[in-house]
DNA sequence: CTGTTAGCGCATTCAG
DNA sequence: CTGAATGCGCTAACAG
């Protein structure tokens, strides 16, 4: 294992000089010494020991990213955006997946704190559980207390900088668009009752329907994934339009209807939420609410890294979804 | 920033004792002291400084994962598998995305080396470029020289433990299955000529066709993604069956045919490769070659971490794909 | 079982 | 501009 000291000796300079040329010091070093050091490092195959550097500097070059599930394209897109800005800033990204276990989320925050990462990004819906949320906040506070920076993508519940998707607003706008198509009887594949993202989308949707004077939709709960959509769709009775609270669930719903010989959109319309890129070529193409996922991930990391955050209120940036009407929903004549 | 020393003082014990109870030492500590230390750590909100720990131990708890693109479900699935075993082993995962830039791949290996990660996993196709491959190998050798472990998912070209998908074999079997359906005139959406994964799938496919005495397929190159499939499909002339060398390209091909009013599978059959889970609900459902992506990622990390690798040949584990015939391909009567 | 001590590799004062 | 010395927080002998 070749160390800085080896390089310095090989180049015939002091440790300090070697350090200055090899690592981003602002200090200047004479051209000839600089060249000697660089050559020595090259010859010896020197690689900075980041652990030592982190210890000496008291700050690391790593950020942490906590997501539920990387195979969910929603999180993959967020992660991609965050990694883009990390690369731009010369930071490495440590990724942790919780698989929707809030205990693991808390544990990972502690671990990332131990790693002394520069910032941690919490992506994904909060859950409606005060005890868990409190303990997560405590862990985050501990991290923050030592200079850690935090940003979230999702609900603004953690007292940290947040990129907050307009779930309720987007769902409301979707409801209005669907109602504009002539639909009156709706069902909502609502996901788990405790997932706040799901809650918000449901309430935004039902709220808009109520404002329009339309009957309340049928609510069917289930998991937040493809199978949740598939299962919930089977329980829908008497609706001309089904809103799945995310695209992946909508895909499950589509499959469920297909398996039962129910045509979309002829027999029933289906809409989702998120506008997952990988799913854009679905047939019928999915009506949904587009969220700029990658940019949201990028923006969240920017917020977390932005140093102008001394002793002030957490910043909350709302990003609104855009309704995209596609082939999975159709217009109804007044007769239905 | 509370340190181990603070905890020790607070608990009235020595640094060493505090270290022994708080971090996974095999050494025993008396119950009463142990309790005092744990309580002190709890009260003070102590978090291990992993950088210091890594420096002192000379070994980190982090593994590196280098993938092309996390938003590609292929890599997301590999990453998911790798992260599963990382979690089991109490390791954190540092993820780097190259976006198919080989220079970045080399640079990230150097960075991960500097981080002194325990192992690095290189996922994704090698490219047919001797210069780049040589420099990558040099960087890997440097890493290995200091005890770093390496595993790859893909081609066995780096002299490291490798999980090698049977690209050629899978494609060959697919070709035979498709020929068995009665197809004679094929086209292959071949991806980039320099991508070895793509090459292998193409050559396996065409080789099997030749063995069957069938005419050589039309080859159309393009990018390895959805748009590459979309564009290449437009150039297909006179084939009853189109093989896209991965599922995501096949989705593009499906879209291309649909946009031009060409029905699948009535007018043309389409097959892919990988069996991406997110795409299983496509209509028509995609005939493909199933690869156990998540398990492959997991296995690769296991190989990298398995210490029984002293001074012996790199292990290469071949994993074979399974042909899955679905709705996007149909049988032909002898008349076509 | 517990405490003392000597580094791990590097950044950074502080002199020169 | 350059070098010598100190310490970052922790682990691992070693001694008791």
In a domain? residue A331: no
The pTM of this model reads 0.94
Q: Give the model's confidence band at A310: pLDDT under 50 very low, under 70 low, under 90 confident, else very high.
A: low
Q: CB B80 to CB A70 under 8 A?
A: yes
**Tally of CA atoms within 13 A in the half-sphere of A302 that contains its CB:** 14
Residue A76: its chain B contacts at CB < 8 A? 70-71, 73, 76
Range of the domain at A231: 167-290
Q: CB A77 to CB B71 under 8 A?
A: yes
In a domain? residue A334: no
Dist. CA B323–CA B306, nearest whole Å: 31
The candidate with the shortest Cα–Cα distance to B47, out of B75, B22, B65, B26, is B22
Tokens of A32: 């000839």
**Chain D nucleotides covered by protein, CB below 7 Å:** 1-5, 7-13
pLDDT, one tens digit per residue, over B212-239 is 999 999 999 999 999 999 999 999 999 9
Counted residue by residue, chain A has a size of: 336
In a domain? residue A233: yes
Place of tokens 């854009």: A280
Q: Is B181 found in the same domain as B126? A: no
Which of B1, B87, B248 lies closest to A146 in CB terms?
B1
In a domain? residue B336: no
**CA of B42: which chain A residue's CA is closest?**
A142
What CATH number did the domain enclosing A30 receive?
Answer: 1.10.260.40
Q: Give the closest nucleotide to B57 (alpha carbon vs C1').
A: D11
Q: Is B23 found in the same domain as B137? A: no
Q: Is B202 found in the same domain as B153? A: no
Assess whether A53 (CB) lies less than 7 A from strand C: yes
Q: Is B198 found in the same domain as B121? A: no
**Better-scored residue on pLDDT, A310 or A205:** A205
In a domain? residue A128: yes
pLDDT, one tens digit per residue, over A242-297 is 999 999 999 999 999 999 999 999 999 999 999 999 999 999 999 999 999 999 99
Domain boundary among B290, B306, B331: B290
Residues of chain B with pLDDT under 70: 24-27, 309-311, 334-336
> Which residue gives the smallest C-alpha to C1' distance to C8?
B56
* Whether the predicted pLDDT of A32 surpasses 70: yes
Q: Distance in angstroms, CA of B160 to C1' of C9?
A: 28
**CA of B54: which chain A residue's CA is closest?**
A51
For chain B, the helix, strand and coil percentages under 3-state DSSP, each to the nearest 5: 45, 15, 40
Q: Is A171 found in the same domain as A278? A: yes
In a domain? residue A330: no
Q: Is A172 found in the same domain as A161? A: no
In a domain? residue B109: yes
Q: Is A298 found in the same domain as A156? A: yes
**Chain C nucleotides covered by protein, CB below 7 Å:** 1-13
Q: Is A278 found in the same domain as A195? A: yes
DSSP B277: G
Q: Which residues pair with B119 in a beta bridge?
A: B63, B149
Q: What are phi and psi of A225, to 5 degrees?
A: -120, -170
What CATH number did the domain enclosing B310 receive?
Answer: 3.40.50.2300
Q: Is A37 found in the same domain as A176? A: no
Assess whether A97 (CB) lies less than 7 A from strand C: no
In a domain? residue B39: yes
Q: Is B284 found in the same domain as B258? A: yes
Q: Is B272 found in the same domain as B182? A: yes
Domain count, chain A: 3
Tokens of A335: 């007769």
Q: Is A142 found in the same domain as A73? A: yes
What does the H/E/C string look like for chain A? Answer: CCCHHHHHHHHCCCHHHHHHHHCCCCCCCCHHHHHHHHHHHHHHCCCCCHHHHHHHHCCCCEEEEEECCCCCHHHHHHHHHHHHHHHHCCCEEEEEECCCCHHHHHHHHHHHHHCCCCEEEEECCCECCHHHHHHHHHHHHHHHHCCCEEEEECCCCCCCEEEEECHHHHHHHHHHHHHHCCCCCEEEEEECCCEHHHHHHHHHHHHHHHHCCCCCCEEEECCCCHHHHHHHHCCCCCCCEEEECCHHHHHHHHHHHHHCCCCCCCCCEEECCECCHHHCCCCCCCEEEECCHHHHHHHHHHHHHCCCCCCCCCCEEEECCEEECCCCCCCCCCCC
């Amino acid at each position: 294992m070749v160390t800085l000291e080896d390089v310095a000796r090989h180049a015939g300079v002091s440790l300090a000089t070697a350090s200055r040329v090899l690592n981003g010091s602002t200090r200047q070093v004479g051209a000839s010494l600089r060249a000697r050091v660089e050559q020595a490092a090259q010859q010896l195959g020197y690689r900075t020991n980041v652990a030592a550097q982190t210890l000496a500097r008291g700050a690391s070059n790593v950020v942490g990213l906590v997501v539920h599930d990387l195979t969910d394209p929603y999180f993959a897109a967020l992660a991609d955006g965050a990694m883009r800005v990390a690369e731009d800033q010369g930071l490495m990204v440590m990724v942790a997946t919780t698989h929707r276990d809030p205990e693991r989320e808390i544990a990972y925050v502690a671990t990332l704190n131990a790693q002394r990462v520069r910032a941690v990004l919490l992506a994904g819906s909060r859950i409606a559980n005060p005890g868990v949320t409190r303990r997560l906040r405590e862990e985050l506070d501990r991290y923050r207390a030592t200079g850690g920076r935090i940003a979230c993508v999702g609900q603004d519940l953690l007292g940290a900088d947040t990129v907050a998707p307009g779930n309720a607003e987007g769902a409301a706008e979707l409801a209005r668009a669907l109602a504009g198509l002539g639909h009156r009887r709706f069902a909502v594949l609502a996901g788990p009752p405790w997932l706040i993202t799901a809650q918000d989308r449901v309430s935004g949707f039902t709220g808009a329907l109520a404002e329009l004077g339309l009957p309340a939709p049928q609510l069917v709960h289930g998991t937040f994934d493809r199978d949740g959509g598939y299962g919930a769709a089977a329980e829908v009775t008497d609706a001309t339009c089904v809103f799945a609270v995310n695209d992946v669930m909508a895909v499950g719903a589509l499959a469920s209807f297909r398996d039962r010989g129910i045509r979309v959109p002829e027999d029933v319309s289906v809409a989702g939420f998120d506008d997952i890129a990988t799913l854009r070529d679905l047939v019928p193409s999915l009506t949904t609410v587009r969220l700029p996922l990658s940019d949201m991930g990028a923006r969240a990391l920017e917020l977390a890294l932005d140093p102008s955050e001394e002793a002030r209120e957490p910043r909350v940036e709302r990003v609104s979804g855009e309704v995209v009407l596609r082939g999975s929903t159709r217009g109804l004549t007044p007769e239905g």
